[in-house]
Amino acid sequence: MQNPFETRFTSTAGPGTDYAPVTPDDGADLATVAISLFVETGGAVSFVSQKGQSHTVNLPDYGYLTCGVRQVNATGTTATGIHAIVVT
């Protein structure tokens, strides 16, 4: 099978190379800074951006948050099925 990612230089502009499940946590950063988030069930997402700023945004079902994310907070997050899109 041909793999188009094999010789590709990875970019934070996407696409990501993998999804990682997210468990919201008020005190722990994600293992890898996400280039974006995907949520299965919409709601509020409280997060700390890659630059260290706190934000809360509302996303629809199957919605994307297109911002670098270092932490997803449990407090204030009502969306579920959250996945970090990462470049590894």
pLDDT digit string, tens, across residues 41-86: 999 999 999 999 999 999 999 999 999 999 999 999 999 999 999 9
User: Which SS3 state, helix, strand or coil, does residue 83 take?
Assistant: strand
By CB neighbour count within 10 A (0-12 exposed, 13-18 middle, 19+ buried), where does 42 fall? middle
How many alpha carbons lie under 13 Å from residue 82 in its C-beta half-sphere?
27
Whole-model pTM?
Answer: 0.85
Laid out side by side, the sheet with 54-59 consists of: 54-59, 43-49, 69-72
The whole-number pLDDT of residue 73 equals: 98
DSSP summary character for residue 26: S
